[in-house]
């Protein structure tokens, strides 16, 4: 898979998990097979993959901007602006997730036991 491309296998796996959870919630499926253990969600790996994706988006936007500034005719201004906006939006989303995580951590630390 090329950097910056969407991994459709992960999306399809997530959609399948959501459909299975919805079926269990509706009562269509009474139990999940005990023989197949559920895949563990690795938060650190998911966070790392997300940060890598944001980093790749920012690097791609920077490279397009540099190519446009150097006069590369194959790069349009609209492509540069769109990639910069995508990078900005993904970075802002990452900052918001970080803020929520820090807030949740502070709430947990301030709980009385």
Q: How far apart are CA 31 and CA 34, in angstroms?
A: 8
Rounded distance, CA 58 to CA 67, Å?
A: 14
Instruction: Work out the number of other CB atoms within 10 angstroms of the CB of residue 54.
Output: 19
Both tokens of 45, joined, read 């790996």
Amino acid 16: pLDDT: 78
User: Where is average pLDDT lowest: 30-34, 43-47, 92-96, 107-111?
Assistant: 30-34
> Which residue matches tokens 């970080």?
98
Reported as a single tens digit per residue, the pLDDT across 47-81 is: 899 999 999 999 999 999 999 999 999 999 999 99
Residue scoring higher pLDDT (22 or 90): 90
Task: At 80, list the tokens.
Answer: 């540069």
Strand ranges (E), 1-113: none
Q: What is the mean pLDDT of residues 25-32?
A: 60
Q: What are phi and psi of 37, to 5 degrees?
A: -70, 145
pTM reported for the whole predicted model: 0.59
**Looking at the predicted structure, is the pLDDT value of residue 103 above 90?**
yes
Phi then psi dihedrals of residue 107, to 5 deg: -60, -45
Specify whether the CB–CB gap between 75 and 68 falls below 8 A.
yes
Positive/negative CA dihedral, 95, 99, 101, 105: positive
């Amino acid at each position: 898979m090329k950097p910056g491309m969407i991994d459709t296998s992960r999306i399809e796996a997530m959609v399948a998990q959501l459909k299975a959870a919805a079926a269990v919630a509706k009562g269509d499926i009474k139990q999940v097979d005990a023989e197949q253990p559920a895949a563990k969600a690795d938060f650190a790996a998911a966070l790392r993959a997300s940060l890598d994706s944001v980093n790749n988006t920012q690097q791609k936007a920077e490279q397009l901007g540099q190519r446009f500034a150097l006069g590369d005719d194959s790069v349009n201004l609209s492509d540069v602006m769109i990639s910069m906006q995508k990078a900005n939006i993904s970075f802002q989303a990452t900052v918001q997730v970080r803020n929520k995580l820090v807030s949740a951590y502070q709430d947990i630390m301030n709980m009385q036991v």
